[in-house]
Amino acid sequence: MTMKKTDKKKSRRRPPTLRQIRAMKIYVEGGGRVPLGEAMRRAGYSYSSSIAPYILRESYGWKELVKQYFPDETILRVQERGLNAKTFKHIYKTIETRSPDGLAQIGVKHDTIEVDDMPTQLNALDMVYKIRDKYPKKDDGVTINNFSLANMAELEDKLDEDNTTKK
């Protein structure tokens, strides 16, 4: 039986395979320190498959495992902690005092204050943008108030042409 050109190939929604489950367990147990390609090799995938982990990430079974191992509530809690991350900054102040004898004494006062951990917060925000697909597509031009950068370049060229013809 041959398929007609008009027949569309149905997407297969298969449950996760044993290798996918093993790869996910290795990946999760690695605590983020084991790259997905390495987890795939340890789970029994071939080298050629493991150098393209995006194929595994795009499979239906893998997406189901991600939902199982990383429920939305867990992701939201971790993202919230990342967006509100704090760090401590040490401040040293030089203090000069006079003793009753009139001698100057110099000391150092040490304080620790809590400040926003901007690198962690920006990293968490970047992850949120990626998860929610908020970054512009690579093919799309950046638009500001319905005016793209490509339009801006065309306008600049026209202005340059006008300026050269006026001279």
Q: Is residue 103 part of a domain?
A: no
Better pLDDT: 131 or 64: 64
Domain interval for residue 47: 14-70
Query: 133-160 b/e with 16+ CB inside 10 Å = b?
Result: eeeeeeeeeeeeeeeeeeeeeeeeeeee
Q: Is residue 5 part of a domain?
A: no
Cβ atoms of 56 and 49 within 8 Å: the answer is yes
Q: Is residue 140 part of a domain?
A: no
Q: Is residue 3 part of a domain?
A: no
Q: Is residue 23 part of a domain?
A: yes
Residue 80's pLDDT is 86
Q: How many domains does the chain divide into?
A: 1
Q: Is residue 19 part of a domain?
A: yes
Better pLDDT: 115 or 124: 115
Q: Is residue 27 part of a domain?
A: yes
Residue 121's pLDDT is 85
Q: Is residue 31 part of a domain?
A: yes
**Mean pLDDT computed over 114-121:** 89
d(CA 156, CA 67): 49
Residue 141: is its pLDDT beyond 90?
Answer: no
Reported as a single tens digit per residue, the pLDDT across 34-90 is 899 999 999 999 999 999 999 998 899 998 998 888 887 877 788 888 888 899 998
Highest mean pLDDT pick, 55-64, 147-156, 158-167: 55-64
Question: Nearest 5°: phi and psi at 104?
Answer: -85, 135
Mean pLDDT of the chain: 80
